[in-house]
Amino acid sequence: MSTGVSGIIYANKTDVNYEVELSFYFEKIANEERIGSKLGGNVSKEVYNNYSDMGKDYSFIFELLDTPLDNFAEELSGPNMYNIGVTSLLDRMRKVQSLFEKILSYKQVTKIMLDINYLAGLNEKILRLNVLDFAEEVSNLYESNTVFPPVVRLIVEL
């Protein structure tokens, strides 16, 4: 089964100009961290449908991917297939943490909701955590979970 990693960025401001600027910023930081992504209307139909009943009090939906060429995120939890220089799970989660730290520091962003393994259908756990604890906490989730990768929804804040 393929691993999906998707979520929603929440901000106090949701006009189109703000969303466009935030999306360019997100892409810039994701590229710097070498994380593939899809944003807004470019996310897969499954991801879009997963959040269709969430209302519109957020800025945009996103997907995190192994590379800009992929549709899934096996690299976040699996073997280092692409040899991109980041070998441990903790190091890969640190890249995602760095992305989220910068996004949460962007003007008026309040939180990020992140779903790991959304294609599994249900979220077994909902956890709230500080972005500075993200890499360690998510790595621990993977290591302590008998189902690999875990099925979890995270609320990430500063």
Backbone angles phi, psi at 95, to 5 degrees: -65, -45
CB 7 within 8 A of CB 39: no
CB 72 within 8 A of CB 2: yes
Number of neighbouring beta carbons within 10 Å of residue 85: 8
- pLDDT of 89-104, one tens digit each? 888 899 999 999 999 9
* CB half-sphere exposure, 67, CA atoms < 13 A: 7
| Number of domains composing the chain | 1
* Calpha distance 121→115 (Å, rounded): 11
Tokens matching residue 150: 């875990």
- pLDDT of 28-56, one tens digit each? 999 999 999 999 999 999 888 888 777 67
Q: Which pTM does this prediction carry?
A: 0.88
CA 112 distance to own-chain centroid: 8
Which pLDDT belongs to residue 29? 97
Full domain range(s) for residue 119: 5-157
Terminus-to-terminus CA distance in the chain, angstroms? 32
Section 74-78 average pLDDT? 64
From the list 74, 89, 81, the residue with the least C-alpha distance to 141 is 89
Tokens matching residue 121: 């259908």
